Structure 1
Amino acid sequence: MANVLLLEKFNHILDENIINEINHVGIVKQFQKNDIIIDINQPMNYIPLLLSGNIKILREDNLGDDLLIYFLEAGETCTMSLTCVMGSSKSKIRAVAEKDSSIILIPVNHIQKWFHENHSWRNFILESYQSRFNEMLETIDTIAFLKMDERLFKYLINKTKLHDSNILTIKHQDIAEDLHTSRVVISRILKQLENENKIKLSRNKIEVL
C-alpha cells in the first residue's frame, strides 16, 4: 500500500531511487480523524510525509488554546517539524488529523543525507519550505488585516477546497478552536453569513453557497 501511495503522490516530485529508499526505511502509520499525530514538546525523531487525508498544523498560546497555522494535503510534508528535526529540538507545533489519514514517517538520520545526495529530495524540501512559509504569511495577514467575518468565510472556503465539497460537517466549537475565538462569536457570524446568502446552516453542517 505504501509503495502505491508513494508512487501516486510523489512520483512527479521525487525520483525512483529516493521513493524506493523512503519505502524501505519509512514507517507507515494510520490515524483517525482528530488523532494527534505530533504534539507540542514531543521529541522529533521522524518527519511525516502525508500519503492520504489531511492534517491541520496548530500552535498553542500561553493559555493552552490552539491557533490554526495551515493545512497539509496528501503529497506534502510539515516543514515546521522538519525544522525541529534539523535543529535537534522538540516539536513547536501540534499536528492533528483533519480526517482519516495515512502517513509515512522517515527517520531523522536519513533526512540530511538525502538532502546532500539527492537532487529531487533537496528540491522537494526547499519547495515545501517556500510553500509553508507563504501559508504562514497568509495566516499572519489574515489575523492582522481581516475582520472575523472575513476570516471565517475564508476559512470555510479553504475547507471546501480541502475536502472537495461545498458541504462541511463541522461543529461551531471546532471552528472556534481553529480560529482562536469563542463558539458564541462563531455562531453569531455564521448566522450573519447565512443572512447574506453566503452559506446555509443545518445541524453540524454548513453549505457554502
Structure 2
Amino acid sequence: MTESRIFFQKAFPFWDKITEDEQKIILDNSSLQKFSAGENIHDSTECTGILVIKSGLVRVYMLSSEGKEITLYKLNPYEVCVLSASCILTNINFDIFIDAEKESEVYLINPHKYKEIKDKNIVVERFTSSIINQSFSDAMWIMEQIVFMSFDKRLAIFLLEQSLSSKTDILNLTHDYIAKNMGTAREVVSRMLKYFQTEGIVSLSRGIITISDKSKLKKLI
C-alpha cells in the first residue's frame, strides 16, 4: 500500500466506502507540495483544489477592506480544507487566503476530479458538506467575537487557545503576530498586554508572553 493511500485512508473517513476506481482517481489527481513558513498556498483569485494537510500548520484567513488579516481557523495534519476549491462549490462566494504557518507538506487534489466523485457518492457529499459547515461555523465564531466582544475578552480567548494548542503557558508570540491574527493594530495588542501584566495575568519579555494567572485570564471571558 502506497504512502499516499495510507495517508488518505486516515484523512478521509469515507475512504473505505468509495470504490477502488474512485480511490485511484483521487490518488492519480493529487500532488504533495512543500511550503515554507509564511508562504502563500491559496488566494481568493484561485481555485487551488482540496487541501489535505500532511505535516506542519496552515492558517486560513480573510482580509478586511483596510488590508488587515483576520485568522478564521488553522489546519493541522490530516485536516481538510474545501473552501480552497470554491469553483466546485455551488452558491458559495467566500474569499479566503491560506498560508503555511510553519514549514508544511500539503496534498492538493484536483477540484474537478474530486467533484466528479462527490456528485456520484453520497458519503463524499456528506463529508464535504460537513467540512464546509464547520468552516463557516468557525468563521462566524470569529466574526461574533469581533462584533460583540470587547478586545480584552478576545485577547484572553486567543491566549488561552494558544496555550491549549501548544500545551504550555510560555508562548513564543510577538505583538505583531497577535495583531496579524486578530485583525487589529499592534499598538492595541501592546496596550492590552501591558494592562494584563499590571493585573498579574501575564508577564512579558521580548517575543515571549507567559500566562501567570490562568484563572484570572479565564474570568475575562
Q: Normalising to structure 2: TM-score of the pair?
A: 0.80
Aligned position for 2:200: 197
The answer on 1:36 being equivalent to 2:40 is: yes
The 5 A counterparts of 1:64-143 are: 64-86=67-89, 92-143=95-146
What is the Cα deviation at residue 158 of structure 1?
Answer: 2.0
SS of aligned partner of 1:6: helix
Answer yes or no: is the 8 Å Cα contact 2:9–2:15 preserved in 1: no
Larger-gyration structure (1/2): 2
Cα drift, residue 61 of structure 1: 2.3
TM-score, length-normalised on structure 1? 0.84
Give a deviation string over 1:106-145, Cα, whole Å, max 9, x none: 1022122111233432222111112112111211110111
Give the % identical residues: 23
What CA deviation, in whole Å up to 9, does each residue of 1:166-208 have, x standing for no partner?
Answer: 3322211111122122111111211222333333322212233
Q: Distance in 1 between matches of 2:54 and 2:44?
A: 22
The one-letter amino acid paired with 1:9 is A
How much has 1:5 moved relative to structure 2? 3.4
Which runs of no fewer than 5 residues in structure 2 stay unpaired? 215-221
CA distance in 2, matches of 1:145, 1:61: 17
The answer to whether the Cα contact below 8 Å between 2:53 and 2:76 also exists between their aligned partners in 1 is: yes
Q: Counterpart amino acid of 2:41?
A: I
Distance 1:134 1:207 in 2: 30
Alignment check: 8 A CA contact 1:84 1:92 kept: no
Displacement of 1:27: 0.6
Describe the SS at the equivalent of 2:80.
Answer: coil
Quick one: structure 1 residues 197 and 20, their matched pair in 2 at CA, closer, same or farther if it must change by over 3 Å?
farther
Tell me, yes or no, if structure 1 residue 15 matches structure 2 residue 15: yes
Which residue of structure 1 aligns with residue 217 of structure 2?
Answer: none
| Corresponding pairs, count | 206
- In structure 1, C-alpha distance between the alignment counterparts of 2:164 and 2:55, rounded to whole Å: 15
Greater Cα offset, 159-168 or 99-108:
159-168
